[in-house]
Amino acid sequence: MAKERIDYTEHYSLVADAMTSRGLLLGSYDAQGKPNIMTIGWGALGSIWGIPAWIVLVRPSRYTFRCIEHTGCFSVNVPTESLARACASAGSTSGADVDKFTELGLTAEKAASVLAPVVAECPVHYECRVVHSNDVLPEKLTDEIRSGAYQDGDFHRVYWGRILGSYAVSGAADLLSGR
């Protein structure tokens, strides 16, 4: 299905619903140009420094971490409920070991404006270029969050991605809300 450009604020609450339930798919290329996806449940879509942005948190242990460090780009793809099992799998296997697109029967398409793959089966996606990154600092965390999210260390790197393009298929809202 062909996608059209949309305003980044369109579908905002449906995107938040997807992120906090099945998760979103973060797309990136590795140094060899192999496309990879990983599931993310934490992130923020908004306006920062007057530009549309996605903030995503990636632990250094992820293959995706190496990919984004290499390309400086990522895509955020919003799956329908029918892709919930694919999200669970993309969130428990690593691109270091498997080709997740092939394994999950998903289609990697080239993004229009960044060096990152987009997931054709997702009705909405965002194309982002990293404009800033910083690491979560243990000493700046509350005890509650440090003990809850970082028992094994592996403190996230926070990527601030400028959204260079937001895209959706026609009828994306119905597809995302399962109507």
Ligand X SMILES: Cc1cc2nc3c(=O)[nH]c(=O)nc-3n(C[C@H](O)[C@H](O)[C@H](O)COP(=O)(O)O)c2cc1C
Q: Which residues bind ligand X (CB under 6 A)?
A: 23, 36, 38-42, 57-59, 62-64, 88, 91-96
Number of residue whose CB is nearest ligand X: 91
- Phi/psi for 139 (5° steps) reads -70, -15
Nearer to ligand X, 104 or 114 (CB): 104
Of 1 and 88, the one with the shorter C-beta distance to ligand X is: 88
Any idea which residue has 């797309």 for tokens? 27
Give min distance, CB of 3 to ligand X, in A: 24
- Shortest distance, position 98 Cβ to ligand X, whole Å: 8
Q: How far is the CB of 143 from ligand X (least distance, A)?
A: 21
Please name the helix (run of DSSP H) or strand (run of DSSP E) that holds residue 95, with its range, or none.
none
Helix, strand and coil in the chain, % to nearest 5: 25, 35, 35
How far is the C-alpha of 75 from the C-alpha of 25, rounded, in Å?
8
Give 8 or 159: the residue with its C-beta nearer to ligand X: 159
In this structure, how many other beta carbons lie within 10 angstroms of the beta carbon of residue 18? 25
Cβ proximity to ligand X: between 69 and 169 the closer is 69
CB of 24 to ligand X, least distance (A): 8
Please name every residue paired with 160 in a beta bridge, in sequence order, or none if there are none: 55, 132
Using alpha carbons, list the distances in angstroms from residue 41 to 5, 82, 112: 24, 17, 25
Min CB(104)–ligand X separation in Å: 12
Q: Which is nearer to ligand X, 3 or 28 (CB)?
A: 28
Taking alpha carbons only, the member of 71, 10, 64 closest to residue 40 is: 64
